[in-house]
Structure 1
Amino acid sequence: MATKVILTETIDTLGIIGAEATVADGYARNYLLPRGKAVLATPQNKKILEQQKARFELQIAKEREQAEELAKKVQEISCTLMAKVSQEERLYGSITAQDILEALKGQEVTIEKRMLLLAAPIKELGTYKVPVRLYKDVEPEITVEVKAEAKEGEE
């Protein structure tokens, strides 16, 4: 069965604040409703929501503005990862989203793993653009450069 709810805050996987969503009963009953992230989509709640629509629109604009400001910072970020390579310049193993997050720790922007849209682990040397989803339709790219580690005996 499914339950119709109205979101009281933006949830990446469901939608923005004020949107109506159909979710599994257990998800609504055990997670969304107890945490105040959504209310049941009843006629009474819809009327209340209409009255609060202006406040929601302000919040959406504010969230989007914050995401766009962060996007400007994120776009300037680049990181260099050193990896062991074989004779054919292929990596031993691969560079994953977690490796990129570790390399970004020293920078002033906090990015969560779920925000990195790395389609597949990086397996070759080179420079890559990795998109970061900060908000719906706000996806700047960070530059990730993968270089070979110096082999023993070389400098």
Structure 2
Amino acid sequence: MSAVPAWGLVVETTVGTGERKHTEAQVVGHLTGSRQEALAELERRARSYSPTHPLSPRRRRLLRVGDGFLLVVDGAWQSFVTRFTVAELLEDSAAPRIPEPEPEPEPEPEGDAAPEPVAGAAPPAPAEARESGLDADGVPVRPAWLGRRDLP
């Protein structure tokens, strides 16, 4: 069975003006599912996107291209371009680690269960303590967090 593909939603936009005008790219989101679903989400974002330049937009055109959309906004003196691209995510060095599933705990026998300690009662005898998982003072020998895979 193949894994469901993950898609990166990339926005490349023109920043700066004059000789300092250049393009910067950002991954603005991730989506799992089909390419069509990713394109639909990308189109929704492209239609509502408001670029910082130009300050006084005169004309706005949104065009569909092979892997996304192209937004061209004409200002008083210059045009500014924003490209919206959907791209399949192949690798992410900063992706969160997905914890491995925990093994099913073994059911405890009903008749041999250790009795709950009673407040003010004497601690269990050493032999009983080892069998119940508690030391002579009634403190668990093995901490509950030891061996958990979901903790850092």
Fold shared by both chains (TM-score > 0.5): no
TM-score (norm 2): 0.29
Structure with greater proportional helix content? 1
TM-score (norm 1): 0.28
Larger radius of gyration: 2
